[in-house]
């Protein structure tokens, strides 16, 4: 873990990086984890791998802690676009993978409303 | 957690979103968590708050699972720019906060080399 600093260009390491809030609060408080976040993450990871999109230069499906937009949970965010999603089921995830992660077209119907916060 | 889909514009919810790999492997394998990742995260969170940068329209300092660039650990990535960092101490974090998160100027000396992977 040394000699690892950049001396060259700035090509993105991942073309797209999606982060799923998997936060689970203590004392039974509401959280993304209680609304299928882990299931969405697992399904997304599986689909991205099956589509051959996973890895460097492609797509990374990532666990994240609280993204602080809990009122819209379960939530995920795709960078570099900064598109936020709220999802319900595997079909929603399939659409995000196929349309956005694979083809660069955000899924309008699943976007989180801009005023949704904690 | 309903009626939360976007119907309007696309202003970014966070101006900048930094994710720290806090992954801790089982069986004592090497991981970011063994190289000061949590300390870097905690310090970054504290500094961002102290600078008044935290929150909507500002900066979010986020926990993340494995970012899969373990050989450069501890690592963090800043979006939307997609700039990856490897850091050693609190001064490194201070520089990332001041230069990049606050003023939009990536810290060249702390960038992760592009070929660093797992």
Q: Where are the extended beta strands (E) located within B11-82?
A: 16-21, 59-64, 75-79
CB contact under 8 A, A82 and B13: yes
Cα separation, A53 vs B36, in Å, equals: 31
Predicted pLDDT at B9:
55
Cβ-based neighbours of B31, under 8 Å, separated by 6 or more: B23, B24, B25, B66, B70, B73
Q: Would you call the peptide bond into B80 cis, given omega within 30 degrees of 0 as the criterion?
A: yes
B62 in contact with chain A, both atoms CB, cutoff 8 A: yes
Using 50, 70 and 90 to split pLDDT, how confident is the model at A81? very high
H or E segment to which residue B84 belongs:
strand B83-86
Partner A contacted by B8 (CB < 8 A): yes
The residue among A79, A86, A109 with the most chain B CBs within 10 A of its CB, best to mutate, is A79
Residues A53, A34: Cα–Cα separation, whole Å? 28
Q: How many CA atoms does the CB half-sphere of B91 hold within 13 Å? A: 1
Q: B64: which chain A residues are within 8 Å (Cβ-Cβ)?
A: 19, 62-65
Nearest chain B CA: its distance from A15 CA (Å): 9
What's the pLDDT at B37?
93
pLDDT surpassing 60 at residue B3: no
Cβ–Cβ of B67/A86 closer than 8 Å? no
Residues of A with CB below 8 A from B72's CB? 1, 4
Rounded to 5 degrees, φ, ψ at B104 are 75, 10
- For residue A64, the surrounding DSSP H or E stretch is strand A59-64
Find the range with the poorest average confidence among B14-18, B21-25, B94-98, B100-104: B21-25
CB spacing of B65 vs A64 below 8 angstroms: yes
Mean pLDDT, rounded, for B8-19: 85
Q: pLDDT tens, A32-68?
A: 888 889 999 999 999 999 999 999 999 999 999 999 9
Catalogue all structural domains in chain A, each as residue range(s) with its CATH number. Answer: 16-110 (3.40.30.10)
Query: What pLDDT shows up at residue A28?
Result: 74
Question: Across the A/B interface, how many CB contacts are shorter than 8 Å?
Answer: 124
The H or E element spanning position A60 is: strand A59-64
Tell me the average pLDDT of chain A. 91
Binary contact (B13, A114; C-beta < 8 A): yes
């Amino acid at each position: 873990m040394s000699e690892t600093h950049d001396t060259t260009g700035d090509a993105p390491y991942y073309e797209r990086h999606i982060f799923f809030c998997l936060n689970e609060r203590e004392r039974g408080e509401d959280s993304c984890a209680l609304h299928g976040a882990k299931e969405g993450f697992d399904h997304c990871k599986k689909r991205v791998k099956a589509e051959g999109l996973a890895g460097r230069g492609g797509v990374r499906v990532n666990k994240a802690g609280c993204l602080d937009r809990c009122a819209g949970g379960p939530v995920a965010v795709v960078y570099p676009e900064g598109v936020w999603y709220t999802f319900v089921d595997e079909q929603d995830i399939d659409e995000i993978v196929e349309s956005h992660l694979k083809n660069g077209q955000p899924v309008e119907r699943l976007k989180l409303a801009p005023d949704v916060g904690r």
